[in-house]
Amino acid sequence: MRLYHNPRCSKSRQAVALLVERNTEFEDYRYLENGIDPNDLDILIPLEGVIRTKEVDKSLGYDLTNAEDIRKLLNENPKALERPILIKNGQAVIGRPPENILVLLD
């Protein structure tokens, strides 16, 4: 289980707290430092709302309805990834609100 986490984000910190409170083992994945794991892209790309549109320079011409453009954007600018995101067994959920991640715990 991997949590895409930005410690500066309050929602992300709340997601970590939820996992810790439930004694859930997870990888605290710092995507801003490590980039997006290439193995996770196929799981992340289809998620509705996976891109933080305010982090995308519109002049670069990314089509946010096109999977390859999203892949390129996330590879080039991990900051554009919404957070937090929990991945477990090939499924992912955006933690907005943070309690959304609980659906993957059972």
Closest by CA to 56, choosing from 26, 33, 78, is 78
- Chain-centre distance for alpha carbon 25: 18
CB contact burial 75-88 (16+ within 10 A = b; e otherwise): eebbebbbbbbbbb
State yes or no: is 9 an active-site residue.
yes
Point out the catalytic residue in the list 9, 41, 47, 104.
9
Secondary structure E strands in the chain: 2-4, 27-29, 85-88, 91-94
The two three-digit tokens of residue 4, written as one number:
């895409």
Catalytic residues: 9
